[in-house]
Structure 1
Amino acid sequence: MKKFFIQGTSAFLGFTFWGAGMVKLYNGHNFIQWIGPPWLVERLVEFDLGLFAQFIAICQIIIGFMLITTRYKLLGGIMLIPMILNILMVTISQNWRGTPYVLTGLLAMNIFVLWQYRNYFKPILNESTDFPKSIQSSKTWIGHLVWLSGLGLCLASIWVSYQNLVAAFVMAGLGLLTGILSFKTDQHFTQTH
């Protein structure tokens, strides 16, 4: 039950930020999301910060994809801390009501996910390369490539959204499914070798 809750929390955070990034870059902002603002890129273009806004959206997509597929939830969770803190500072400085509380909740959820992996931080903090066997991974290079191809499909769907929105949605869905199923590739290749 605890593992399911951790995976669910990671997937929720991932969907939140993956969707927030995709909606900013999709044609007409036609994508599923529950936090915004979807118009961030257009608004920041007025201040010559359009490229920066696109960079933020791409980072949200990548971090969100790491978390929603749960393959790289530790790395995604670490990367999500500065992302949330930056967004939080912007919302506080702009006197947005409610949003800082939502972001604080998301930050707390992320810290909860990271707390489950606290043993991973000991070698990092000690700058040691000796990882205990209990935290060594059974992930394969093929699985990593499958996951990366899923991320690539999601990113490519942004361009496709300007040509055909339905095809873009299908690509994004297939990309997400590919990323999630990358674990199956690991299982297949570790069992056959």
Structure 2
Amino acid sequence: MSFLSSMGVIRFWRTALTLLLGITFFTSGMAKLYYNHLFWGWIGPVWLAERLQPFQLGLYVAFIAASQLVTGFLLLTRRFWLLGAVLLVPMLANILLVTISLQWPGTPYIVAVLLLMNLALLFSEHQRLRVLWSRAAYVPASAGPARTVTGHVVWVAGLLLSVSAAPISYVLLPLSYWLAIGGVVLACCSFLADSYSPRRLRATMP
């Protein structure tokens, strides 16, 4: 019983960290790309492009913002959260060095804490990740329906909706918010699409 309860605690904190990091970087990327930065987010700076433009780094900032958006989406929608956590390591390390180099007060500490949180998230899945440095095979426990092409298509459609929200914000701001939120909701529903995929339904028919 104690083992099961400890596993439950680990799953709870893993989910909490995943959602926190997902919301943080999804909103951060959106806020940098949105019209007049009119998208909520608790971590910045949204004026990164303006600060780095004199160094001819505008394209770099756009790349960072898009990477934050996609990585945050991976974590937030949970379907490919482990991939998002892996991708977040080099991005956070990159942001940490940039903020240290520019001597921004306080920001490196915040980024360092987020990096430690992400490393803790990855450590919770060390059994799956050990295939990167070991030949030990990993046999995952069965949990829920298998991932299907239908579910993947639904998830990608959600990602495209959310990504399209940023450029649409320059044309029709209210619609862009609905697209951003709708894309996240649709991607979260990809697990339901797995259960109702045509192949799985045919396999369960008498």
How many Å separate the matches in 2 of 1:127 and 1:61? 34
2:28 aligned counterpart, secondary structure: helix
- What residue is the counterpart of 1:162 in the other structure? 170
The alignment's TM-score, normalised by the length of structure 2, stands at 0.85
Q: CA deviation at 1:169?
A: 0.2
- The one-character-per-residue Cα deviations of 1:7-59 (angstroms, maximum 9, x if unpaired) are 12101101101111111110010001011111112333322221111111111
Corresponding residue for 1:132? 139
Aligned residues, how many?
Answer: 192
Distance 1:135 1:112, change over 3 A: farther
1:4 partner amino acid: F
Confirm whether residue 141 of structure 1 aligns to residue 149 of structure 2: yes
Q: Return the TM-score normalized by structure 1.
A: 0.91
Name the stretch that deviates more: 27-36 or 92-101: 92-101
Aligned counterpart, 1:63:
71
Conserved in 2, the CA contact under 8 Å of 1:120 and 1:135?
no
1:95 aligned partner: 103
Specify the code of the residue in structure 1 equivalent to 2:90. P
Moved more, 35-44 or 11-20: 35-44
Query: RMSD over aligned Cα, in angstroms?
Result: 2.0
The structure with the larger Rg is 2
Q: 1:22 aligns with which of 30, 37, 47?
A: 30
Contact kept in structure 2, 1:19 and 1:61, CA below 8 Å: yes
- The structure-2 alpha-carbon separation of the partners of 1:44 and 1:95, relative to structure 1 and needing over 3 Å to count, comes to closer
How many Å apart are 1:187 and its aligned residue? 2.5
1:104-123 mapped onto 2 (5 Å cutoff): 104-123=112-131
CA distance in 2 between counterparts of 1:98 and 1:146 reads: 40
Q: Which residue identity lines up with residue 118 of structure 2 in the other structure? A: N
Using a 3 Å threshold, how does the CA distance of structure 1 residues 47 and 140 change in structure 2: closer, same or farther? same
Q: Which amino acid aligns with 1:74?
A: L
Q: Percent identity?
A: 38
Structure 1 unaligned regions, length at least 5: none
